[in-house]
Structure 1
Amino acid sequence: MTHIAFFEPSYAAHNRRDWEIRGSYKYPSLLGDLHGRAAVTLLMRTLPPDTDPHRQRLEADHGVRFLAIDTLEDAGEHAVEMLADDYAAVIATEAPDIVSTLNGRPIGYNYALARAARANGVDYVYRIAGNDIATQMAVLEADGRPFAGTGLLANVMAQERYAAEVARTVIVMGGTERARAEGLVSDPGKIRVCRRGVDRAHFAPPADAPDRCDRILFVGRNSAEKGIDLIEDAASILAEERPAIRFVIAGDFEALEEGNRHYLGFHDYAALPDLYRDNHALLLPARSEGFPQVVMEAMSCGLPAILSHSLFAEDFGAEDGVALVERDARDIANAIARWHDDPAQFAAERTRALDHAAAHFDAAVNGILYHQALLGEAA
């Protein structure tokens, strides 16, 4: 049987939330019934305890074998060579047929894994979860640290290009990332679009549709690449122009209310559907994204989405329940106001969002595509 080894972030007892996200629904969603066709090993420097319920479920229901490995937890420019050696040693000992990652990982880890796979003559599948370079640029420059034009940027770009070229298959989440990845490889035919998808029974719309668009939702990290500053600036504009509109901002935020903005803390998987159903539209004016899970979850719950044009123009058209905007607070505010002012248009966008989600975001259908890509099979 084919053996697939996934090189994953370490379990950290002080960061239980991260492991709960991965262990409770990200890994189960991606793995599905893969164990019926391949032996599956998850490799980490530190493993979750034997008694951890998420580990036990992965072992019992998804056939996962956990393996602790002696490796660095650093893929920085001064450590990546040692990381590649660590990975190569494990691959030589465990002899998998395919190596990849389930969790989205920074470029340095993927470069090291590509190096190690090539040294051992095994297939490497590069799962690109987003534009890591754009994310680093947004975060570093928001912190006043240069990235554009630096040697660090040149190194990371070279590492990404190497990993993509060495990979047998490159998996991306959406059309924008596919277009970007085509510039990294000599054979664009090896690029496959495979989203994780959602359980549409879990993420279902409310029984009663809202009459108008009054509550705008953001779900995600409090980080510069997510466009939090743009959300707050748009909220300030609409506080004056449309005082009935409220903004709900959920994620790693301190709980507080500030004007027309209500900041919430983290919502786990079980609580997410009610969060979506309590609101009317999703707002994600991000500077860097792959194809976010929150977009698929929200649209499956009936929320049309307001998204960055530059990131999502390849994935959504005019009839898909999405408004594509520039990363500009005025443009964002105008898009929200249009849906708020016209209940009939909002109702139509809501129906389009639900229809698009039904056609494209089902986890079972997307899981088949992912397994085919991972195993090197034709779609």
Structure 2
Amino acid sequence: MTALTLHITHLQLLPLLSGVQRVSLDELERLDSKTRKVLICQSRGPLTEGAEASGAAVIVAPDLVREINPIRDMKALWYLWKCFRREKFDVVHTHSSKTGVIGRLAARWAGVPCIVHTVHGFAFPAATSTLQRKIFHAMEWIGARCSHRVVCLHEDDARICRDELGLSDERIEIMANGIDLQKFHPLSLEADRHALREGAGLPADRKLVMMVGRLWEQKNPACLVEAYCQLWESGDPGADLVLVGDGALKKSLEVRVKLAGLEPHVHFLGWRTDTPELLRLCDVFVLPSRWEGMPLAILEAMGCGLPVIVSDIPGNRHLVHHAENGLLFPVENTESLASSLVELLDNANLRIRLGAAGRAKVEAEHDIQQRVRNMEALYRDVLNINN
């Protein structure tokens, strides 16, 4: 390693382009041009395509899996250890819970001089049984001890690192997520909204409520669909629902919409690469997650000047202050979400005020350019200590 050149790899599980993966891609795209960049992932997909377009090499580790599988987990550990020894990375930066533990173990055994893990929300507080919580906690405890730094997106996760994982303040870094403020921006002219909607095949004469995210249990899209169906119990709310993303719950959501007879008014768009344009053409953004780290989806919606309604959970509430730059509702409470939707859909002035406050917050605190510079400084700080 020279004073100017770093050899860095990000380790991700899935090759999707949802929030966790976007954090890696945002950094790979903006690292110093002299940096040698590598992405390691379970398989190929949109994330690896984006990484290669940024100039990064891609290594596929097919035995990385989400579920606990002792045989495949040991294979993945061995594969990563050999990879880290061969490539001689200066920095291994891991993401996700179980993949992060395996990656940090392999990196520590391979003698990598800078091992960084970003916490995108801890799994063990949301465990469904005492045994599951103990297993998840033990994994995070082990992973933490293999890390030179653990990056937390907000103080709540930093507190868990200190109080439950026993990490010292010197090994914890709080660094909020960021977005590209030039890419995620409000509409220049309100008249453009109708043209954007026609181009996207969405109705120009109705308000649009949008969620962007993976259709699975964590993001809790069923809560939003149920709240939207409840709106119709009092008559047509004058708004359609747009779901951007895909996942295991898509079929069950489609069944619920069909039973309610609302198929013409609920639009399943799947994964899209034109998220900024889609956000700008809608009126309200909703994210009803059960748990989060610090969702890029909320930051991106706020960056586009949208009023947001989000579940009142750690991660979300660090971004949204109720009635100041968005609305919070109790997690899983479809009635409260439905009421919040009515409040925003019926009040254009409130939508404008909350949207403007959200944009001001991301401009002040969540610029991706500054975040990447801060991350590079963290890498160099660790390397200067360990070399």
TM over 0.5: yes
Provide the aligned C-alpha RMSD in A: 3.4
Contact 2:309 2:328 in 1 (8 A): yes
Show the counterpart of 1:282.
285
Q: Does 1:298 align with 2:301?
A: yes
1:239 is aligned with what amino acid?
W
Structure 1 CA distance for aligned equivalents of residues 188 and 35 of structure 2: 41
Structure 2 CA distance for aligned equivalents of residues 318 and 297 of structure 1: 18
Q: Number of paired residues?
A: 347
1:369 is aligned with what amino acid?
N
TM-superposition CA deviations, 1:70-115 (whole Å, max 9, x none): x7334624133443233223223332232123xx43x222212222
Indicate which of 325, 330, 334 corresponds to 1:326.
Answer: 330
TM-superposition CA deviations, 1:253-310 (whole Å, max 9, x none): 47887428512222422x2122111211111111022212211111111112111112
Show the counterpart of 2:37.
40
Contact 2:284 2:344 in 1 (8 A): no
Indicate which of 192, 199, 213 corresponds to 1:220.
Answer: 213
Cα 1:58–1:215 shift into 2, 3 Å: closer
1:9-48 equivalences in 2 (<5 Å): 9=13, 18=16, 27-36=24-33, 38-44=35-41
Percent of paired sites with the same residue:
18
1:41 is aligned with what amino acid?
V
Q: Does 1:249 align with 2:243?
A: yes
Structure 2 CA distance for aligned equivalents of residues 47 and 248 of structure 1: 27
TM-score, normalised to structure 2, is 0.77
Task: Structure 1: state its 5+ residue gaps.
Answer: 12-17, 138-146
Q: Does 1:7 align with 2:32?
A: no
1:186-205 equivalences in 2 (<5 Å): 186-205=167-186
Show the counterpart of 1:87.
80
Contact 1:319 1:352 in 2 (8 A): no
Contact 1:171 1:373 in 2 (8 A): no
Cα 1:214–1:241 shift into 2, 3 Å: farther
Structure 2 CA distance for aligned equivalents of residues 351 and 95 of structure 1: 47
Q: Secondary structure at the match of 2:291?
A: coil
Cα 1:177–1:308 shift into 2, 3 Å: farther
1:90-101 equivalences in 2 (<5 Å): 90-101=83-94
Q: Secondary structure at the match of 1:355?
A: helix
TM-superposition CA deviations, 1:321-348 (whole Å, max 9, x none): 1211102011112222222333322221
Q: Does 1:336 align with 2:341?
A: yes
Show the counterpart of 1:140.
none
Contact 1:238 1:245 in 2 (8 A): no
Show the counterpart of 1:170.
150
Show the counterpart of 1:141.
none
Show the counterpart of 1:240.
233
2:93 is aligned with what amino acid?
S
TM-superposition CA deviations, 1:33-64 (whole Å, max 9, x none): 4244643333457678xxx97465332xxxx3
1:190 is aligned with what amino acid?
R
Structure 1 CA distance for aligned equivalents of residues 325 and 17 of structure 2: 33
Q: Secondary structure at the match of 1:264?
A: strand
